[in-house]
Amino acid sequence: MDIIPRVGLGTWKASPGEVANAVMEAINLGYRHFDCAYLYHNESEVGMGINSKIKEGVVKREELFVVSKPGEKDVPLDCNGMVIPSNTSFLDTWEAMEDLVIEGLVKHLGVSNFNHEQLEKLLNKPGLRFKPITNQIECHPYLTQKNLIDFCHKRNVSVTAYRPLGGSRDGVDLLDDIVIRNIAKKHAKSSAQILIRFQIQRNVIVIPKSVTPSRIKENIQVFDFELTEKDMEELLGLNKNLRLATFPSTENHKDYPFHIEY
């Protein structure tokens, strides 16, 4: 569980023109974990940022934990804009991913948006060569994911919280929630820092995204204070199982993970 640095930089919606600078800034500030994906269309620029810091001698490649997620170039859509489901079993996909580890192309494997049944199925796969080291899921005080986190931790699979700040606030403003603001005020911290610290204290890895230098800095300054038990209870009490990332175009897929509670 300690392989993955506890705070990483998210890169979704970080435009190619901004992300290299954000990555360089983050490395200067001590980030050693970067969350990327083919579908974010900015991986080469993330790589440029990393490369330039390696060249400067600020960091070594082996000190960095870089996450990617495979994606198809053109996800086939039907006339209603729904993803045309594939019949491939994710267990077969996992085997292909295991080959990448054997070939030395990747170091570790993880999953994302897996519900507990899918994770169980994978962990029980006959002949499993590598376990997933993390399940990356949406998590914040409006979607606390208690059951899924307990399930993962019991099986020694870490959890990585994505959209920890509530994303770019289309209609939902976690940062402005009065409970969160009051806790922030009490600790003389920002709401974002409270949301990040909340995950750390639940033993959950967290990947806030920012391309703004002052926020990139703020988001990693979360190791000099501690939320009290009461703070944690209040934050957990905000849960309303509100899922912000629902991937509606994939709802017809046989493996759509959100048809069950966790």
Ligand X SMILES: NC(=O)c1ccc[n+]([C@@H]2O[C@H](COP(=O)([O-])OP(=O)(O)OC[C@H]3O[C@@H](n4cnc5c(N)ncnc54)[C@H](OP(=O)(O)O)[C@@H]3O)[C@@H](O)[C@H]2O)c1
* Residues tagged active-site: 40
Exactly one of 4, 12, 20, 148 binds ligand X (CB under 6 A); that residue is: 12
Q: List Cα–Cα distances, 221 to 22, 97, 216, 226, 248, in angstroms.
A: 16, 35, 9, 12, 35
Structure token digits, residue 204: 């959950």
Question: Nearest to ligand X by Cβ — which residue?
Answer: 10
Site for ligand X in 87-126 (CB under 6 A): 112-113
Residues with Cβ within 8 Å of 94's Cβ and at least 6 positions away in sequence, in order, are 109, 122, 125, 128
CB of 127 to ligand X, least distance (A): 26
x/- map, 15-54, ligand X, by CB under 6 A: --------------------x-------------------
Contact with ligand X (CB under 6 A) among 11, 134, 144, 145: 11
Q: In the bound complex, what is the minimum distance in angstroms from residue 244's beta carbon to ligand X?
A: 8
Give the residue with the Cβ less far from ligand X, 149 or 165.
Answer: 165
Closest CA to 139 of 211, 93, 62, 199: 199
Q: Supply the minimum distance, in Å, between the C-beta of residue 230 and ligand X.
A: 24
The region of 23-31, 53-61, 151-159, 208-216 touching ligand X under the rule CB under 6 A is 208-216
For ligand X, the binding residue among 75, 102, 245, 260 (CB under 6 A) is: 245
Q: What angle do CA 157, 193, 147 make, to 5 degrees?
A: 30
Cβ contact 139:165 at 8 Å: no
What are the residues facing 35 on neighbouring strands?
Answer: 10, 67
Closest CA to 111 of 88, 94, 89: 94
Number of residues in contact with ligand X under rule CB under 6 A? 28
Whichever of 230 and 243 has its CB closer to ligand X, that residue is: 243
Residues 149-168 as x/- pattern, contact with ligand X by CB under 6 A: -------------xxxxxxx
d(CA 21, CA 2): 27
The window from 47-55, 77-85, 149-157, 201-209 that contacts ligand X (CB under 6 A) reads 201-209
Residue 166 beta carbon to ligand X: minimum distance, rounded to whole angstroms: 5
Amino acid at 154: K
DSSP 89-131: -HHHHHHHHHHHHHTTS-S---EES--HHHHHHHHT-TT--S-
Give the three-state DSSP class for 10: strand
Q: Given the rule CB under 6 A, which residues bind ligand X?
A: 10-13, 35, 112-113, 136, 162-168, 175, 190, 192, 207-212, 215, 218-219, 245
